[in-house]
Chain A
Amino acid sequence: MDILNALVAILNFVVIPAASYGAQLALGALGVTLIYGILRFSNFAHGDTMAFGTALVILVTWGLQAIGIDLGPVPTALLALPIGIALCSVFVLGTDRTVYRFYRRKRSDPIILVMASVGVMFIMNGLTRLVIGVDEIRFDDGARFLVSVQQFRAWTGLSEGLSLRVSQAITLAVTALACWALFRFLSRSRAGKAMRAYSDNEDLALLSGIDPERVVRLTWIIATALAVTAGTLYGLDKSFKAFNYFQILLPIFAAAIVGGLGNPLGAVAGGFIVAFSEVAVTYPWKKIANYLGFQPEGLLQLLSTEYKFAVSFVILIVVLLFRPTGLFRGKSV
């Protein structure tokens, strides 16, 4: 029995990775849920918005590096992030103007908007490939570890190591900051309340003199900012590969639905629920069982990592079966 080492192992292999992955999903799901709440459709282009925005951030990062600007231990990408967000927002607002606004004015069926978002997805996907290619790209400069395994072992004298990468720490910090700012904005500011009012009751919001186009523009900008942030953090944490951002769409949708589409708090909770389930189910628990005095035969891995998307899917199905409005009562059905 070695509870201390078991705890460290759980922290190192489950809690930290799941928390940072959950934070990335939460930011993505927040964007999906905001767009759903205001524009009333599931945006299939969200994954590719993340990819496109991240590609822009990488380009700006390279540019900054080329002229010799960096942030020391912190990745230069963080400095490039606001520029990437601004550029990507301009593009996304352009798609709203040229694509979505038409269907919004016509009050088209949501599924037509979903279809239109597929078209936008194709274009963004192609643009991403065009500007940065399809290869895997690493763009995390600066220090790699906040706490490395060797350091941790030296400090604690435990046999089990623990590492905290800079990208993980930054992910958690940036996500906390973004959520704090967003929720403060939604609950305190006039524009944020107008957004909630519009999401709650579009017609009454119009009667109250809220300008729908302003609300929609604001929503796109916020959702894009969250998406590009999520994409950049994900890319720093793992690496950048355009196709991965299409695949992350499923866990993001699952997170948003679990939390209740249209409910921002739910999206954050959903992101962590999906991430923790995914990591817990695909992690081989053998090592931890060993520390606790068991000698299992197998790896004690419930599902191989190739099937991690199955976890989001199962969560999605369970929620649709038992509580289609999500855990936090979103709109919908």
Chain B
Amino acid sequence: MTEPYLSATDMHGGYGKADILNGCTLTVDKGQIAVIVGPNGAGKSTAMKAVFGMLNLREGRVTLGGEDITALTPQERVRKGMGFVPQTHNIFPTMTVEENLEMGAFIREDDFRDTMAQVYELFPAVADKRKQNAGELSGGQRQQVAVGRALMTKPSLLMLDEPTAGVSPIVMDELFDRIIEVARTGISILMVEQNARQALEIADIGYVLVQGANRYTDSGQALLADPEVRRTFLGG
């Protein structure tokens, strides 16, 4: 069996003395959508931040495309092909949409106009507002800008921390459609979601985290079909 594109195995660690992650393992293959769900306080966002290097692991290792990146800083991981969209404060509010995307491409030395065109193609709604300040956009459009910003580095793995928090169901569906489109271009997706049911619908692989450790791991459809998972985590 070949190693998956992203593999974060047996992660232990936390912010202070007490560990939040107690042996969490996440893997994502090329072009796959992986979704992390679980109850509040299960360490979902922490697990993603650990993958991105925003917290020091006491144990475990993270590899991307076969390369060990456990010791790298988030900035270095961005250069290795990770894109990260934080849950909040994920745009530059007083800068225009276009400038937000430019900042996303800050580390790129080459011509990024093609990438920008692709992002605008993916999100036509924000393409019309490219000269407008991102802070003036609606919630759903801001999330699109945020995702677009992360795509500007042409990442091979895109990580989204609760992208649909606080947006209406219609906007959520739209956003999930876009995420599927992104995945089809070969980009792997790792995302944390509160809206577990809808997210698992589009997931190739789903992780149910409880107390910082994997409880169930299966394809999205299988998890949705599992009566135990449904009863405990999806509300029946």
A206 sits at the interface (CB 8 A) = yes
Contact between chains at B89 and A208 (CB < 8 Å): no
B90 nearest CB across to chain A (Å): 6
Across the interface, which residues of A come within 8 angstroms of B99, CB to CB?
A: 193, 196-197
A203 sits at the interface (CB 8 A) = yes
Knowing A201-B92, A204-B89 are in contact, say whether A194-B75 is a contact too (CB < 8 A): no
For residues 74 through 133 of chain B, which have their beta carbon under 8 Å from a beta carbon of chain A?
A: 74-75, 78-79, 84, 86, 89-95, 99, 102-104, 106-107
Knowing A207-B74, A207-B75 are in contact, say whether A201-B106 is a contact too (CB < 8 A): no
Across the interface, which residues of A come within 8 angstroms of B94, CB to CB?
A: 196, 200
In whole angstroms, how far apart are the Cα atoms of A193 and B74 in the complex? Answer: 21
B57 nearest CB across to chain A (Å): 19
A209 sits at the interface (CB 8 A) = yes
Contact between chains at A193 and B90 (CB < 8 Å): no
Across the interface, which residues of A come within 8 angstroms of B86, CB to CB?
A: 203-204, 207
Residue of B nearest to A205 (CB): B103
Across the interface, which residues of A come within 8 angstroms of B92, CB to CB?
A: 196-197, 200-201, 204-205
Across the interface, which residues of A come within 8 angstroms of B104, CB to CB?
A: 208
B12 sits at the interface (CB 8 A) = no
Contact between chains at B74 and A201 (CB < 8 Å): no
In whole angstroms, how far apart are the Cα atoms of A204 and B75 in the complex? Answer: 10
Contact between chains at B93 and A194 (CB < 8 Å): no
Contact between chains at A203 and B95 (CB < 8 Å): no
Interface residue tally for chain B (C-beta within 8 Å): 20
B154 sits at the interface (CB 8 A) = no
1/0 contact string of A69-94 vs chain B (CB within 8 Å): 00000000000000000000000000
Interface size band for A: 10 to 19
Determine the main DSSP class of A at the interface with B. Answer: helix
Across the interface, which residues of A come within 8 angstroms of B106, CB to CB?
A: 190, 194, 197, 208-210
B149 sits at the interface (CB 8 A) = yes
A199 nearest CB across to chain B (Å): 8
Contact between chains at B89 and A209 (CB < 8 Å): no
Across the interface, which residues of B come within 8 angstroms of A208, CB to CB?
A: 78, 103-104, 106-107, 149
Residue of A nearest to B150 (CB): A207
Contact between chains at A207 and B84 (CB < 8 Å): yes
Across the interface, which residues of B come within 8 angstroms of A206, CB to CB?
A: 74-75
Across the interface, which residues of A come within 8 angstroms of B90, CB to CB?
A: 204
Residue of B nearest to A193 (CB): B99
Knowing A206-B75, A207-B78, A209-B78 are in contact, say whether A193-B89 is a contact too (CB < 8 A): no
A326 nearest CB across to chain B (Å): 13
In whole angstroms, how far apart are the Cα atoms of A208 and B106 in the complex? Answer: 6
In whole angstroms, how far apart are the Cα atoms of A194 and B107 in the complex? Answer: 11
Return the 3 tightest CB-CB contacts between A and B, nearest first: A209-B107, A200-B92, A197-B103
Q: List 23 A-B contacts (CB under 8 A).
A: A190-B106, A193-B103, A194-B106, A196-B92, A196-B94, A196-B95, A197-B103, A200-B94, A201-B92, A204-B86, A204-B91, A204-B103, A205-B92, A206-B74, A206-B75, A207-B74, A207-B78, A207-B84, A207-B86, A208-B103, A208-B149, A209-B106, A210-B103
Give A contacts to B, CB under 8 Å.
190, 193-194, 196-197, 200-201, 203-210
